[in-house]
Amino acid sequence: MFPRYLINFDLSKIKKIYTDFLIVGSGIAGLYTSLKLCNKGEVTLLTKSKLKESSTEYAQGGIAVALGDKDSPHLHMEDTLKAGANFCDPEAVEVLVTEGPECVEELIE
């Protein structure tokens, strides 16, 4: 007979956490979601290691948005599609360049 679990453990020894929102991951998506939910209830952010140990922390260049007077979502889209060498999904890029500036402004606040 095979054991029911691959690893024997006692559920009574596992710490229980009660929260309104459990966010898994401390990258930009997890942190942004935590910020959006913190006024709606208790938020618990779960990370695999340290808070800054995420793909976002190691991403080269971060994320760009058209915020300057000499830039625009249209120019940003052209630049992104060109730099992406046909690997970018144009619809996803359009969402990024149109909604990105508002999200970055919100994070800055």
pLDDT tens figures, 60-85: 667 788 888 888 999 999 999 999 99
Q: What pLDDT is recorded for position 1?
A: 54
Helix axes 90-108, 73-83, angle to 10 degrees: 120
Q: Where are the domains of the chain?
A: 17-60, 63-109
With a threshold of 0.75, does the pTM exceed it? no
- Give the number of other Cβ atoms within 10 Å of residue 50's Cβ: 9
* Euclidean distance between CA atoms 88 and 84, whole angstroms: 5
Q: Which of 59, 47, 40, 39 is CA-nearest to residue 23?
A: 47
